[in-house]
């Protein structure tokens, strides 16, 4: 597929419906995220509105349609001692995977994080999500440990890896 135009920009509450749709698709796949139930447009709107200036979601638009996003949150919303640590999540619609969009999103997110005084990103990934693990390794994330039977999706327990990357 050839893109007419790929645009990366920061999400606003108006993007909540499109982001909620992506959650629906990825939650229905069942194997990639520990988010069990898609966030509704209303929940997503409230979440985007609640983010601090140092946080955000970057959306990828292809031909004016949002096809993926990457979120950056503070590791802790309450403890100032963790202010240099962020966490991210990356989600691309199935038909647009394998085209490098997630890497372009990550460049944007990391630039934003550096400017906003983060020095490290920490993530959790389901152990069976080999594609995401490969993606994060390619970005320089190192696996620091494994949590056993951490995620419960429909009664099936799965381990999670935690990974970190210094910016």
Ligand X SMILES: CC(C)(COP(=O)(O)OP(=O)(O)OC[C@H]1O[C@@H](n2cnc3c(N)ncnc32)[C@H](O)[C@@H]1OP(=O)(O)O)[C@@H](O)C(=O)NCCC(=O)NCCS
Is 81 within 8 Å of 29 (Cβ atoms)? no
CB of 101 to ligand X, least distance (A): 5
Footprint of ligand X on residues 36-55 (CB under 6 A)?
none
Question: Looking at beta carbons only, is 49 or 134 nearer to ligand X?
Answer: 134
Q: Please, which of residues 70-129 interact with ligand X by CB under 6 A?
A: 89-92, 97-98, 100-102, 125, 129
DSSP string, 68-118: EEEEEEES-SS-GGGTTEEEEEEEE-GGGTTSSHHHHHHHHHHHHHHHTT-
The reply to whether 139 sits near ligand X by the rule CB under 6 A is: no
Given 134, 144, 149, 159, the residue binding ligand X (CB under 6 A) = 134
Axis crossing angle, helix 16-29 with helix 41-50, rounded to the nearest 10: 120
Q: State the CB neighbour count (10 A cutoff) for residue 142.
A: 10
Site of interaction with ligand X (CB under 6 A): 26, 32-33, 89-92, 97-98, 100-102, 125, 129-132, 134-135, 138
């Amino acid at each position: 597929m050839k893109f007419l135009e790929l645009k990366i920009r920061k999400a606003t509450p108006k993007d909540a419906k499109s982001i909620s749709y992506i959650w629906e698709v990825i939650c229905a796949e069942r194997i990639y995220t520990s988010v069990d139930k898609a966030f509704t447009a209303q929940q997503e709107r409230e979440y985007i509105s609640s983010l601090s200036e140092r946080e955000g979601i970057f959306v990828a638009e292809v031909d004016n349609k949002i096809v993926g996003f990457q979120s950056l949150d503070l590791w802790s919303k309450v403890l100032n001692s963790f202010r240099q640590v962020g966490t991210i999540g990356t989600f691309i619609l199935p038909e647009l995977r394998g085209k490098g969009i997630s890497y372009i999103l990550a460049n944007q997110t990391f630039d934003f994080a550096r400017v906003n005084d983060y020095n490290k990103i920490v993530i959790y990934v389901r152990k069976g999500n080999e594609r995401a693990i490969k993606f994060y390794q390619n970005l320089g994330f190192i696996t620091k440990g494994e949590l056993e039977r951490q995620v419960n999706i429909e009664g099936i327990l799965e381990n999670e890896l935690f990974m970190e990357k210094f910016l």
